[in-house]
Amino acid sequence: MENVNVLIDLGHPAHLHFFRHAAQRLTAEGHTVRFTGRDKDILVELARGFGIEVEVFGVCKRGTVHMAGELAYRQWRLAGIVRRFKPDVMLGIAGTYISAVGRLFGVPTYIFYDTEHATLSNMLAYPFATCTFVPQCYHKPIRWRNRRYNGYHELAYLHPKYFQADPAVLDEVGLGPSERFSIVRFVGWGAVHDVGLSGLTDENKTRAIDELCRFGRVFISSEGPLPASLEEHRLRLDVTRIHHLMAHADLVFGESATMASEAAVLGVPSVYIDPVGRGYTDEQEREYGLVANFTAKRQAEAIDRAVAVLAANDRAVWKEAGRKLIDDKIDVTGLVCRVATERPYVKPVTEPDTVPYFGRAGA
């Protein structure tokens, strides 16, 4: 197999998690991998924690004007990197910044995505990508070439092949070995696909924490400022350790689809509040019962459901559901490596989305 130059562009900290094991495997096989990224949330801190070099340019800011300016700036910078690095293939999640650049320079560009309602970013990426890979549970049709696979993004880094929870993390946050606790996630609603959307009110944030505290400690991960009364619950932990803590939690509650899905993959129940939902969290509720999905209009019901989950304390049931999920799905990192090295579908022909490229469980 010939060695290839792989350029991976990161738009969000979660993207680093998704690609880092694939990058490690590709590098071990003799390929050259280069990361670029934007200054979003904890990406720089996370990359430093994992010892991964990322060339960062572009700053995430709210507002359509800022988003348009960042798009133009990042594409200009990426064009310069493509000229110098000469990648054989480019990879990204969402692909907002790299797809048009890939088309311009004739570089095969592959997108991995799972967010159906990200209409604007999808329109900026899907038409220009060589192929877009989405989970089989993605519930919208895509006009341009795409393939569906039997998995979730979170399996790229939380599959048992790549992740084993470290119980030492409990001591790092002052918990005893059998002490019960919940993790709560509040998002900033500043992403492109969040424009016009909102989540929990401050009143319901406070009510949720009060209710969850009846069953044990509560740790809050928040992209923005918290009400003063909740600041004492803010999670203070090395950013590379959050999944180790999550694996030991009794519940994950909040506004992040990614964290709800991470919890499901780890066999931890979650309650997810979002105005529009996701195909993958819908499937994780329907097939495995690991996620309970609620719209923003049903915040009170979501809190009640969280209380019911904690009161039942069915940890063995949840772990068994998590094992079934793992058995049903593929190794997503394997898919990423295969795409990077095989560079499929390089001819610019639109094809239907009914044929899975990589769909066998355990593959």
Q: What is the pLDDT of residue 241?
A: 97
Q: What is the pLDDT of residue 354?
A: 43
Q: What is the pLDDT of residue 192?
A: 45
- Listed in order, strand segments (DSSP E) in the chain are 5-10, 32-39, 54-59, 89-93, 109-112, 131-135, 146-149, 181-186, 217-222, 251-254, 270-273, 291-294
Q: What is the pLDDT of residue 193?
A: 42
Q: If we measure between CA atoms, which residue out of 269, 357, 281 comes closest to residue 315? A: 269
By the 10 Å C-beta count (0-12 exposed, 13-18 middle, 19+ buried), 78 is classed as buried
In whole angstroms, give the CA distance from residue 220 to residue 120.
30
| CATH domain 168-327 topology | Rossmann fold (3.40.50)
Name which residue leads in pLDDT, 64 or 143: 143
In whole angstroms, give the CA distance from residue 297 to residue 273.
9
Q: Where are the domains of the chain?
A: 5-151+330-342, 168-327
Q: What is the pLDDT of residue 63?
A: 52
Q: What is the pLDDT of residue 64?
A: 61
Q: What is the pLDDT of residue 65?
A: 56
Quote the CATH superfamily of domain 5-151+330-342.
Glycogen Phosphorylase B; (3.40.50.2000)
pLDDT, tens digit (0-9, with 9 covering 90-100), for 72-90: 888 999 999 999 999 999 9
pLDDT mean over 263-277:
93
Q: What is the pLDDT of residue 60?
A: 60
pLDDT mean over 223-251:
93
Least confident of 59-73, 242-256, 268-282, 294-308: 59-73
Q: What is the pLDDT of residue 308?
A: 98
pLDDT mean over 217-233:
90
pLDDT, tens digit (0-9, with 9 covering 90-100), for 153-184: 999 999 999 999 999 999 999 999 999 999 99
Q: What is the pLDDT of residue 119?
A: 73
Report helix, strand or coil for 329.
Answer: coil
pLDDT, tens digit (0-9, with 9 covering 90-100), for 99-130: 999 999 999 999 999 988 777 878 888 999 99
pLDDT band for 349, please (50, 70, 90 cuts).
very low
Q: What is the pLDDT of residue 29?
A: 96
Q: Is 5-151+330-342's fold the same as 168-327's?
A: yes
pLDDT mean over 258-263:
97
Q: What is the pLDDT of residue 123?
A: 85
Work out the percent of the chain whose per-residue pLDDT is above 90: 72
* pLDDT beyond 50 at 325: yes
CB atoms within 10 A of CB 73: 15
* pLDDT beyond 90 at 71: no
Q: What is the dihedral of CA 115, 82, 52, 2, to 10 degrees?
A: 100
Contacts of 157 (CB under 8 A, 6+ apart): 17, 18, 20, 21, 163, 243, 333
